Amino acid sequence: MSSILPRNDEVDVDATHHYLDDLSPTGRSVRLVRYRDGVPTFQYTPTADRPPVTLARPGISGAVILATRHIHDFPILLTDCRSAWIIAPGRVVDPTRNRIEKSCVAIIFDPSVVEDELSAPFLHEFPNGVEQIALPDERRDRWAQALADLAAELSVDDEHTRRAVVAHLTLLLTDVARITDRIAHRPDDTVAAVFTAIEDRYAQPLTLADVAAEVGFSPAYLTTLIRRRTGKTVVQWIVSRRMLEARRLLAQTDLPIATVAARVGVDDAAYFSRLFRREIGMPPRQWRGSQETAVDVGR
């Protein structure tokens, strides 16, 4: 994949550095925000007064193509109306490993504006984070017209623009979903992978970044995806699993509180007690006593 950076690539991650120039008057909204293990990560933040969709093309305004590994914290659909390249968010992309036509238009969008089923094809496991699909001959003119219509709507600024832009995006993503035939199971696969990672590692120090690395997505995107699919964040699921095991240990063993904390991946006993009280409603020692009382009453 071709990405764009300013010619001076000695960049400050706190500054705004754009790697795509908009074809539509939305204002530049892609910027470098951080490095992950030395790999630059780009974020898409559309302005509040514009639709959360951007059309862009590599090479505009004299920018240079970045031919090194990088990460996008958002999905991208690239197309030349003959093929389409589905770029997974949060994956490390190496442009040298995929042949992508420089004439492509990039459709950058906020996945929250479409149904989960339509963003599912972007959660693929293809090498390098890129899946290429061939557009059937009978659909190529339709894609060209859809891009033209999308660009036309993005050039308008009225109260109907957002609705129209999202409608055109939905039609394109519906076509992608039909071609890839991956609508039903992608998000659930990711959720299952997250729960497996938590189950395997909750007894050790475990962070959102650890789980994200395990399943191959960026922390920000994974947080959004899991919250949308389950109603809770990854961090909340980690805490829930730890508290479930902590209650089992408190009820079934005489282990000291500090040992229970360590057994569920929390090295600081004081922090564990505060966390337990926040989640369960009382300190662990008091909760253990309440369980012993309940057993005595039931005898």
Among 4, 111, 8, which Cα is nearest to 64's? 4
What is the separation, in whole angstroms, between the first and last Cα of the chain?
68
Alpha carbons 10 and 119: distance in angstroms, whole number:
33
Segments in 157-283 forming alpha helices (H): 161-180, 186-201, 208-215, 219-230, 234-252, 257-263, 269-280
Q: Rg of the chain's alpha carbons, rounded to an integer?
A: 24
- Name 293's Cβ contacts closer than 8 Å, sequence gap at least 6: none
Note the pLDDT of residue 102: 67
Domains and CATH numbers, the chain: 3-184 (2.60.120), 188-298 (1.10.10.60)
pLDDT in single tens digits along all 299 residues of the chain: 444 333 333 333 332 233 333 444 334 577 888 888 888 888 888 777 788 898 886 543 333 335 578 888 889 998 989 889 898 888 888 877 767 666 788 899 988 888 888 888 888 777 788 888 888 888 899 999 999 898 888 888 888 888 899 999 999 999 998 887 643 344 567 888 899 999 999 999 999 999 988 887 778 778 877 887 788 899 999 999 999 999 999 999 999 999 999 999 999 999 999 999 999 999 999 999 887 664 444 45
Nearest partner of 3 among 111, 95, 108, judged by Cα? 95
Token pair in block for residue 34: 């951080």
Q: Contact at 8 Å (CB) between 19 and 3?
A: yes
pLDDT score, position 3: 40
Question: What pLDDT is recorded for position 18?
Answer: 33
Q: Report residue 160: phi and psi, to 5°.
A: -100, -5
**Token code pair at residue 194:** 């997250």
In this prediction, residue 20 carries a pLDDT of 38
